[in-house]
Amino acid sequence: MKLPRDMLTRQLLYEQLVRECTASRVERFNFYQVLRNYFLFGSETSRGAPYNKIASTVETLSSFIYSPDTLRFSLQLGTEASADEVHKAVPLSREVSEQWRVSRTHILFGLGLRWSMVFGVMFLKLMWSEKRVRSYLVEPHQFGVLREDIMDLADQEAFTHHYTMTKSQLGKTLEGNPRKESILARAGQSGDALPPLSTGLSRLLISSPVGGIPGSLAIPGAQSSYSTGVGAGTGYDYSPKLEVELVDMVDLYVWDDQENDYQVVTRAAPDVIIYDRPSHWMGHVQGIAPFVPIRPEFNLYDYFWGDSFVARLTWLQDWRTERTYQIRKLLTKAFDPPMSMTGGVGISEEKFLAFGSPGGRLSMSMPQGQVNVHEPTMPPDTFAELAQIDQMFEDRAGLGHVLQGKGESGVRSRGQADLMARLGSSRPKERAIAAEESAEDAAGNILRLVQDHSDQRFQCMIPGSKDPLTFIAEQFTRDYEVKVDGHSSSPIFIEDRKHDATTLHEAGAIDLETLLDMYDPPNLQDLKERLKVLEAQRAAAKQAELQAGIVQKQGKHK
């Protein structure tokens, strides 16, 4: 995009781009609010359901897709990288894995992955602050793109990031700016600002269909038709209460053809442009945005915001909740069935109620008087229907009984169970690989930040050299890709990875230390030190055995 030089024309272009990038923001916010409630409470409002099957399904599936404690990274070098760079890649791959954990990105990524199954997409923002990597989650309603029919963020000409900050925070960021006082005086909240997701229903009317249900409508404070009765649950929605004055901010990222990089425009509400500068986020590498989309679903190819997994479960959750309330109503009537009386003229309501109490007696003067108990009949397949609904949840998630640790008829050996688990995990594996792609993009940005900002020194051994080579990350090649090492991000692949490691060791392709790295057991560093001692003892014993054999041969020769 060509940016005009005239400042007035430039500002009008920025306003137009922000407006175009946020065209669907309110509509998506309404949809995300309902999805949030379904995930947290099992219903379209915070009133909740007797059992939230959506939450348990999402939690189980996300635990198969990603495990923060096993993830490790490796570097794959390009064709232009020299042979020495291969040896430098070993300590740097460990540094990426270390930064991933130290910055708590491993926790945030797992949280973002879980919520991306709710909303369809989440964003991870990576920055360098105070000599370390910092990561933040960005909700999709706080993001906007120019073209929603383009999936890749790198292909977008413009996109926006919306956020809020207090005036004291804004004042701190404006230190040294000559326009600080005028900016603080004008900055505030805009009229079209969105509330937090957790409090959105208090200000907005949700009128869009949910989960493909025509005519579905969520109204603040309203309950579903089946969510009435005793013990309907609490209505707390875990929403943060904010009394501090906030300033609505937006960062507009525009691709500048002349600079071949993003131009970043920071604007405070209502229309105060604070900064208009080149990105410089990635230092030496241009054209890389600080945001990484997290998408576990790839069912849509022409919609940037992705496909919500939770939206596809709302039908089943509503069906299950409705049937649960109906079963509860029938059981309540079975324990305290309705009664009617014929022929008992003149009996008072108090006497009839007393007759229904334990040990109650009733005498009537009319010989034809009769008391009828209307005990309901429970349908024979009522609970079987609930089990079938739960099976539909598992089928939608691709989680069979074997994957969940449950027994399966006909399985009589461990090998057969492992084979069935491997065959039945194909659909979760597809989601796990999609999550790996996002993790690799984020880890690649982490290493680039380390290269641009860190002065930490690393060491590696070069074959033929006596002393280790000391270098900093900036001296490493830029021709690389960060990869998840051995699909270590997902528990589904753990047994496959161990099997491959054992096979490679038996074939003599790797040594014991590499085998330990691939198994990644607890106390790995301690085990490596113990391995060095064991290998030294084995080498000494072998040398002694060899020396004894030589002496014995010499004695026989004499």
Helices (H), 66-213: 83-102, 105-119, 167-173, 180-186
Q: How much is the pLDDT for 425?
A: 66
**CA–CA dist 400, 504 (Å, integer):** 31
Question: CB count, 10 Å around CB of 77?
Answer: 17
**CA–CA dist 164, 189 (Å, integer):** 9
Three-state SS across 498-550? Answer: HHHHHHHHHCCCCCHHHHHHHHCCCCHHHHHHHHHHHHHHHHHHHHHHHHHHH
pTM metric for this prediction = 0.80
Among candidate residues 315, 345, 379, the one where a domain is terminated: 315
Of 59-73, 341-355, 369-383, give the range with the top mean pLDDT.
59-73
pLDDT, the chain, mean: 81
Give a yes or no: residue 421 inside a domain: no
Q: What is the mean pLDDT of residues 366-392?
A: 82
Partnered with residue 276 across adjacent β-strands are 265
**CA–CA dist 281, 278 (Å, integer):** 9
Taking 3-state DSSP, the helix, strand and coil percentages for the chain, each rounded to the nearest 5, stand at: 45, 15, 40
Give a yes or no: residue 93 inside a domain: yes
Give a yes or no: residue 23 inside a domain: yes
Report whether pLDDT(48) > 80.
yes
Number of H-type helices and E-type strands within the chain: 15, 14
Which residue type sits at 116?
S
Of 144-153, 255-264, 359-368, give the range with the top mean pLDDT.
144-153
Cα 32 to its chain centre, rounded Å, is 15
Query: Taking Cα atoms as reference points, which of 157, 122, 114 lies closest to residue 143?
Result: 122
Question: Which range is least confidently modeled, 299-308, 365-374, 386-395?
Answer: 365-374
Question: CB count, 10 Å around CB of 220?
Answer: 12
Q: Token digits for 197?
A: 């997701």
Among candidate residues 262, 295, 315, the one where a domain is terminated: 315
Q: How much of the chain exceeds pLDDT 70, in percent?
A: 79
Report whether pLDDT(231) > 60.
no
Give a yes or no: residue 466 inside a domain: no
Q: How much is the pLDDT for 218?
A: 37
Q: How much is the pLDDT for 192?
A: 61
Q: How much is the pLDDT for 492?
A: 65
Which residue type sits at 196?
P
From residue 365, give the alpha-carbon distance in Å to each of 104, 343, 346, 371.
80, 9, 10, 13
What angle (nearest 5°) sits at the alpha carbon of residue 115, between those of residues 114 and 121? 110
Q: Is the torsion defined by CA of 57, 61, 63, 66 positive or negative? A: negative
**CA–CA dist 508, 215 (Å, integer):** 65
Q: What SS3 class is residue 199? A: helix
Helices (H), 174-219: 180-186
Q: In sequence order, which residues have a C-beta less than 8 Å from that of residue 49 and are 6 or more positions away? A: 41, 42, 43, 227, 233, 317, 320, 321, 324
**CA–CA dist 235, 49 (Å, integer):** 11
Q: How much is the pLDDT for 334?
A: 85
pLDDT digits (tens, 9 = 90+) for 15-38: 999 999 999 999 999 999 999 999
Phi and psi torsions of 191, nearest 5°: -70, -25
Give a yes or no: residue 63 inside a domain: yes
Q: How much is the pLDDT for 68?
A: 86
Can you list the positions of beta strands (E) in 184-317?
246-256, 261-268, 272-278, 291-294
Question: Which range is least confidently modeled, 3-12, 24-33, 182-191, 453-462?
Answer: 182-191
Question: Which range is least confidently modeled, 47-61, 146-160, 197-211, 240-254?
Answer: 197-211
Report whether pLDDT(433) > 70.
yes
Q: How much is the pLDDT for 496?
A: 66
**CA–CA dist 418, 420 (Å, integer):** 5
DSSP 238: -
Q: Are 195 and 203 in contact (CB under 8 A)?
A: yes
Q: What is the mean pLDDT of residues 233-251?
A: 80
pLDDT digits (tens, 9 = 90+) for 307-355: 999 999 999 999 999 999 989 888 888 888 887 777 665 666 676 677 6
Number of domains in the chain: 2
Query: Taking Cα atoms as reference points, which of 192, 191, 195, 185 lies closest to residue 272?
Result: 185
Among candidate residues 257, 292, 315, the one where a domain is terminated: 315
Q: How much is the pLDDT for 137?
A: 95
> Quick one: pLDDT band at residue 269, thresholds 50, 70, 90?
confident
Question: CB count, 10 Å around CB of 524?
Answer: 12
**Terminal Cα-to-Cα distance of the chain (whole angstroms):** 91
H/E segment holding residue 207: none
Q: How much is the pLDDT for 508?
A: 82
Give a yes or no: residue 129 inside a domain: yes
Q: In sequence order, which residues have a C-beta less than 8 Å from that of residue 520 and are 6 or more positions away? A: 70, 72, 488
pLDDT digits (tens, 9 = 90+) for 178-229: 888 988 888 887 656 676 665 543 333 333 334 333 333 333 333 444 444 4
Give a yes or no: residue 289 inside a domain: yes
**pLDDT, greater one: 121 or 299:** 121
Range of the domain at 15: 7-230+243-315
